Chain A
Amino acid sequence: MNAQMSVATTPETGEARPVEQVDLRHEFNEVGIGEVLDQLDRELIGLKPVKTRIREIASLLLIERIRKRMSLTSEVPTLHMSFTGNPGTGKTTVALRIASILHRLGFVRRGQVVSVTRDELVGQYIGHTAPKTKEILKKAMGGVLFIDEAYYLHRPDNERDYGQEAIEILLQVMESQREDLVVILAGYGDRMDKFFASNPGFRSRIAHHIDFPDYSDDELLAIAELMLHDMNYRFSPDAREAFIRYIGLRKAQPLFSNARSIRNALDRMRLRQANRLVADLDRVLSASDIMSLEAADVLASRVFSNGYPK
């Protein structure tokens, strides 16, 4: 750490010379990814393997950046990624963070995220797809293209589907303009596996496959409390107990989509709370009344009534 940065230009000639020594801490602080990673840790609950992987990628990119300055490398690292995981596990949120990490490290020039699905890439008639896909690609240049539910691009049952055309254009640009664009594909695990199996070109062009695990009960509770905190609500102690039971029951039911289900549940609880408060018009409300969700708001959920005691 005591090695200071050496002078980048020689005074006699004034021409750029590769640096020979680099203060790693200085570099790390300079690009400010520390903050982004800390923010990631703070604001995203759970997702251990994902965070580890992002840290690894960030470290690799930091070293790559230094190597470049030392003239040890000229290759642009492949940064295309694939995020797989169940609904509501934070794939989109992480994609936004990744964009800002890449931007800070200078691997994407602008740092915008263009988020698209099949609709925006694939056309409706012959000759419509290519311009449409290129339009999106041009908008995403210099940033990150996030393709949600990417497996819909490929429809194996219809061989005349235009999705294939979009895939071919994507693959071509992913290969030839690696320094201009980072593509992130996201989708549910099993279907993405099938997608990659039928499009081997994609699998080999993507360097980082990141799997998003489901949240545990404790993590879901922490997520709920964080969401409530951001909305200026809080659970009363009873409501918190009830919500722990709610999570357990809801998880066992079909169509559970992790954090998204939690957010929806909270929205419904806010409705019930508002209804409860309005039902009794002749009282003076304190800020604390308005902020707190009571056990009754939680327990009124249908999840509890499916044969389970209240």
Chain B
Amino acid sequence: MRITQGCFSFLPDLTDEQISRQVQYCLGKGWAVNIEFTDDPHPRNSFWEMWGLPMFDLRDAAGVLMELNECRKVYGDRYIRLSAFDSSHGWESVRLSFIVNRPNDEPGFRLERHEAAGRNIRHTTKSYAVDRPEGSRYGGR
């Protein structure tokens, strides 16, 4: 199951050309672009790991693409996303975030029903990928 998080996730995967156009847009707005990766695809997982520091003061998307390709070399079997942080007063938060790399095989989620008191049902979603330990999900590389 293809996970859909952040911008553009209902579109086909962006090409490098399209990624760099998006990044250029962010840089044009003065946002700092950051690369993050994870192998826990749960939508409530907000702790993605950072690939280096956020990139401040860049003028051209080529620099971000260079880092992204480095990151793909090491963590090409995981999810990688770019996020753009707007530091201007009143925003001070992420303005744009989109996935730029995903594993070849995304096993999806299972739905667990927990029967609570009074025949109540509580639902939990769990990714099949997280059954294996971190680093060896998605086949590891």
Footprint of B on A, CB under 8 Å? 109-110, 112, 131, 134, 137-139, 141-143, 173, 177, 180-181
Contacts and interface: CB of A to CB of B under 8 A. Distances in A.
Contact of A139 (B52, B57, B61, B67): B57
Interface in B35-58: 52, 55, 57-58
Contacts of A141: 58-63, 66
Contacts of A181: 62
Interface string B60-98: 111110110000000000000000000000000000000
25 contacts: A109-B62, A110-B59, A112-B59, A131-B52, A134-B66, A138-B55, A138-B63, A138-B66, A138-B67, A139-B59, A139-B63, A141-B58, A141-B59, A141-B61, A141-B66, A142-B59, A142-B60, A142-B62, A142-B63, A143-B59, A173-B66, A177-B62, A177-B66, A180-B66, A181-B62
A118 B109 CA distance: 52
Contacts of B60: 109-110, 141-143, 180
B75 to A, nearest CB: 17
A66 B60 CA distance: 25
Contacts of A137: 63, 66
Contacts of B61: 141-142
A98 B67 CA distance: 27
A139 B52 CA distance: 15
Interface of B: 52, 55, 57-64, 66-67
Chain A binding site: helix, strand, loop or mixed by DSSP? loop
A112, A138, A143, A177: residue with the most chain B Cβ atoms closer than 10 Å: A138
A131 B55 CA distance: 12
Nearest to B64: A138
Contacts of B67: 134, 138
A141 B59 CA distance: 7
Contacts of A180: 60, 62, 66
Contacts of A110: 59-60
A131 B59 CA distance: 18
B52, B58, B59, B61: residue with the most chain A Cβ atoms closer than 10 Å: B59
Contacts of B58: 138-139, 141
Contacts of A112: 59
A203 B52 CA distance: 32
Contacts of B66: 134, 137-138, 141, 173, 177, 180
Nearest to B52: A131
Contacts of A131: 52
A87 B66 CA distance: 35
A109 B52 CA distance: 25
Nearest to B70: A134
Nearest to A180: B62
A282 B62 CA distance: 64
A109 B21 CA distance: 13
A181 B52 CA distance: 21
B53 to A, nearest CB: 8
Given A131-B52, A137-B63, 16 more contacts: A109-B62, A110-B60, A137-B66, A138-B55, A138-B63, A138-B64, A138-B66, A139-B57, A139-B59, A139-B63, A141-B60, A141-B61, A141-B66, A143-B60, A177-B66, A181-B62
